[in-house]
Amino acid sequence: ELKVEQNPLFLSMQEGKNYTIYCNYSTTSDRLYWYRQDPGKSLESLFVLLSNGAVKQEGRLMASLDTKARLSTLHITAAVHDLSATYFCAVDGKSGFSAGGTSYGKLTFGQGTILTVHP
Amino acid sequence: DVKVTQSSRYLVKRTGEKVFLECVQDMDHENMFWYRQDPGLGLRLIYFSYDVKMKEKGDIPEGYSVSREKKERFSLILESASTNQTSMYLCASSLFRGYEGGGTEAFFGQGTRLTVV
């Protein structure tokens, strides 16, 4: 059974500081997604990482994937208040349905990291 | 833009009622999903469907059933609502791809906050 663990679960940062959120997963996968959720809202896709060594950047956020270590990181550079949200990673594990290992996009999510950026 | 629409934002139901949560997507996606979100537990998969009339149990299917009669619509049914089913319910959809075919990023609806009293 695929398990996905994020840490930290709570992160309080000062504006201007850097920090990293970690996402570890338990079985082989080379597809990982990061989502953002604002309070009371649904999930918004941030990054799609589809291979070992993939790195994506958008503004102050950068995500990377190391499939050998089964680890993805979401790095925050010079945090600003607008980045306050909950961040989820999700891993697309091979479905057991098909002997050929066809993926159905069955995503297993981490617990989420609640990020608060203070002035 | 992909649009996934859930029929209600907020619902209040009584214990023992049969509850229907509806979800419609407009991008011809093969896959559809129902997740439940609770604080500290992330999103947990209840059921998913990879084709019309096809479904598979997720991690927490007990007390739920689903229906997919048309490709664009996926319904979650609480047969007899209980207070421990009070939660945020999120529907999602994604394209079907073979494992070598690229990402299967899921797109989410706005969520239905269900309270069972």
Q: Do A41 and B35 touch (CB under 8 A)?
A: no
| Average pLDDT of span B93-105 | 69
pLDDT greater at residue A98 or residue B80: B80
Verify whether the Cβ–Cβ distance A50 to B103 is below 8 Å: yes
Q: Which residues, given as ranges, of chain A have pLDDT below 70?
A: 93-104
What does the pLDDT look like over B27-78, one tens digit per residue?
A: 898 889 999 999 888 899 999 898 898 888 888 999 999 999 999 999 999 9
**pLDDT value at position B102?**
60
Contacts of A87 (CB under 8 A, 6+ apart): A6, A21, A34, A35, A36, A37, A46, A74, A112, A113, A115
Q: Side chain identity at A52, as an amino acid letter?
A: N
pLDDT at A94: 59
pLDDT of residue B87: 97
The pLDDT, as a whole number, for residue A96 is 44
Nearest CA in chain A to B49: A104
Q: What's the pLDDT at B54? A: 86
CA distance to partner chain A, nearest, from residue B33 (Å): 8
CA proximity to B25, closest of A37, A4, A105: A105
Which of A31, A42, A106 is opposite residue B108, by nearest beta carbon? A42
Pairing of strands B4-6, A107-109: unpaired
pLDDT of residue A70: 93
* Nearest neighbour of B105 by CB, restricted to A41, A45, A110: A45
Q: Is B1 on the interface with A (CB under 8 A)?
A: no
Give the E-state strand segments of A1-119 in sequence order: 4-7, 10-14, 19-25, 32-37, 43-49, 55-58, 61-66, 71-76, 85-92, 107-109, 113-118
